[in-house]
Chains A and B, each alone.
Chain A
Amino acid sequence: MSTARPARPVSCEELAGSHVLLTGATGFLGQATLERLLASYPDTHVSVLIRPRGERGAADRLSTLLRKNVFRPLSERLGADELVRVVRERVTVIEGDLGSVALPADLDVVIHGASTVSFDPPVDEAFRTNVSGVATLYEALAGSPHVVHVSTAYVAGTRKGVVAEAALDHDVDWQLELEMALAARADVERDSRRPEVLRRALAQADEQHAKAGPQSTAAAAERLRTKWVTRRLVDYGRTRARSLGWPDVYTLTKALGERVAEQRWAHTGRPLSVVRPAIVESALRHPYPGWIDGFKMADPLIIAYGRGVLREFPGLPDSVLDVIPVDLVINAILAAAARPPATGPAYLHVSSGASNPLTFQNMYVLCREYFDNHPMPDGDRGHVEPPTWRFPGSQQVELTLHAGERVTALAERVLLRLPPSKRSQDWLTSLGRQQQDLGQLREYADLYGVYTRAEVIYDDTRLRELHAALPAQRATEHGFDPTVIDWRAYLQDVHCPSITATVRRAGQRRGRSTAGHRGSPSQSTSISSLSLPERTDVAAVFDLEGTIVNSNVVESYLWARLATMPRSGWLRELADLARCAPRYLYAERRDRGELLRAFLRRYAGVRADALRALVTEVLGDVLLHRVMPEATRQIRRHRAAGHRTVLITGAVDLHVEPLSVLFDEVVASRMHVKDGVLTGFLEAPPLVDEARAAWLRQYAQGHGLHLDRSYAYADSYSDRPLLEAVGHPHAVNPDSQLFRHARRRRWVVHRWGEHTGGLLEVLLDVTRADVRIDVRPDHGTRGVPR
Chain B
Amino acid sequence: MGRPGFVLDVDERTPPLLMHEGEGFRLERLPLGSRVIYPPESLPSIVDLEGAIRHALAHPHGSDPLPQLLRRGMRLTIVFDDLSLPLPPMRTPDVRQRVIEQVLELAAAAGVDDVELIAANSLHRRMTPAELKRTVGERVFRAFHPDHLRNHDAENPDDLTHLGTTPHGEDVEINRRAAESDLIVYVNITLTAMNGGSKSVSVGLASYASLRHHHNVHTLRHSRSFNDPPNSAMHHSYDRMADVIGGYVPVFTIETTLNNEPFPAALRFLTRREWEWNLTDQASYLAVKRSNDLATTRLRRRIWQATEAPYGVTGVHAGAPSQVHPHTLAAVHRQQLTEVQGQADVAIFGLPYICPYNVNSIMNPILVMSLGLGYFFNLYRGKPIVRQGGVAIFYHPVPHQFHPVHHPSYIDFYELLAETTDPVMLETKYEKQFATDPWYTHLYRTSYAYHGVHPFYMWYWGAHAMQHLDDVIFVGGNRSTTARLGFRAASSLADALELARDIVGRNPQISYLHAPPMVLADVR
Contact = CB atoms under 8 A, between A and B. Distances in A.
A292 to B, nearest CB: 50
B284 interface: no
Interface string A431-470: 0000000000000000000000000000000000000000
Given A627-B404, A771-B129, A761 B447 contact: no
Given A636-B437, A769-B128, A756 B446 contact: no
Contacts of A760: 298
A629 interface: yes
Contacts of B443: 624
Contact of A621 (B298, B400, B405, B442): B405
Nearest to B360: A768
A755 B298 CA distance: 13
B411 interface: yes
B404 A629 contact: yes
Interface of A is mostly: helix
Interface residues of A, number: 27
Contacts of A632: 408, 439
B106 to A, nearest CB: 28
Interface in B394-446: 400-405, 408, 411-412, 415, 418, 437-439, 442-443, 446
A658 interface: yes
B28 to A, nearest CB: 31
Contact of B133 (A525, A620, A626, A770): A770
Given A636-B439, A661-B438, A624 B415 contact: no
A756 B362 CA distance: 12
Given A662-B439, A769-B130, A755 B404 contact: yes
Contacts of A756: 404
Interface string A544-572: 00000000000000000000000000000
A770 B439 contact: no
> Which of A629, A636, A771 lies at the interface centre, i.e. has the most chain B CB atoms within 10 A of its CB?
A629
B298 A620 contact: no
B448 interface: yes
A633 interface: yes
A785 interface: no
B87 to A, nearest CB: 20
Contacts of A624: 404-405, 408, 443, 447, 449
A286 interface: no
A756 B408 CA distance: 10
A289 B422 CA distance: 64
Given A760-B298, A761-B298, A629 B437 contact: no
B367 to A, nearest CB: 14
Contact of B415 (A528, A620, A626, A770): A528
A756 B405 CA distance: 9
A702 interface: no
A758 interface: yes
A625 interface: yes
Interface in B316-351: none
A629 B439 contact: no
B404 A625 contact: yes
A420 interface: no
A754 B400 CA distance: 9
Contact of A757 (B405, B411, B448): B405
B446 A768 contact: no
Nearest to A525: B415
Contacts of B298: 758, 760-761
> Which of B402, B404, B408, B415 lies at the interface centre, i.e. has the most chain A CB atoms within 10 A of its CB?
B404
Contacts of A754: 400
B439 A661 contact: yes
A621 B302 CA distance: 19
A115 B298 CA distance: 71
B405 A755 contact: no
Contact of B404 (A525, A757, A769): A757
Interface string A594-632: 000000000000000000000000001100111101001
Contacts of B302: 764
Given A528-B415, A761-B298, A629 B402 contact: yes
Contacts of B442: 661
A771 B145 CA distance: 12
B155 to A, nearest CB: 13
Given A769-B128, A770-B133, A629 B412 contact: yes
A731 B412 CA distance: 21
Contacts of A629: 402, 404, 408, 411-412
Contacts of B449: 624
Nearest to A760: B298
Nearest to A661: B442
Contacts of B400: 754
Contacts of B404: 624-627, 629, 755-757
A770 B131 CA distance: 10
Contacts of A633: 411-412, 415
Interface in B358-394: none
Contacts of B405: 621, 624-625, 757
Nearest to A626: B404
A771 B448 CA distance: 16
Nearest to A635: B439
A770 B408 contact: no
Nearest to A630: B411
Interface in A632-681: 632-633, 636, 658, 661-662
Contacts of B408: 624, 629, 632
Interface string B295-325: 0001000100000000000000000000000
Contacts of B437: 636
A624 B128 CA distance: 15
A753 to B, nearest CB: 9
B133 A755 contact: no
B402 A755 contact: yes
Contact of B446 (A528, A636, A658, A764): A658
A525 B419 CA distance: 12
Interface string A340-353: 00000000000000
Interface string A359-402: 00000000000000000000000000000000000000000000
A764 B128 CA distance: 14
> Which of B128, B405, B418, B439 lies at the interface centre, i.e. has the most chain A CB atoms within 10 A of its CB?
B405
B418 A620 contact: no
Chain A to chain B: the 3 pairs with minimum beta-carbon distance, closest first: A755-B402, A629-B411, A770-B130
28 contacts: A525-B418, A528-B415, A620-B446, A620-B447, A621-B448, A624-B404, A624-B443, A625-B404, A626-B404, A627-B404, A629-B402, A632-B439, A633-B411, A633-B415, A636-B437, A636-B439, A658-B446, A658-B447, A661-B442, A754-B400, A755-B401, A755-B402, A755-B411, A760-B298, A768-B128, A768-B130, A769-B128, A769-B129
Given A756-B404, A757-B403, A769-B128, 12 more contacts: A525-B418, A620-B447, A624-B404, A626-B404, A627-B404, A629-B404, A629-B408, A636-B439, A755-B403, A760-B298, A770-B133, A771-B129
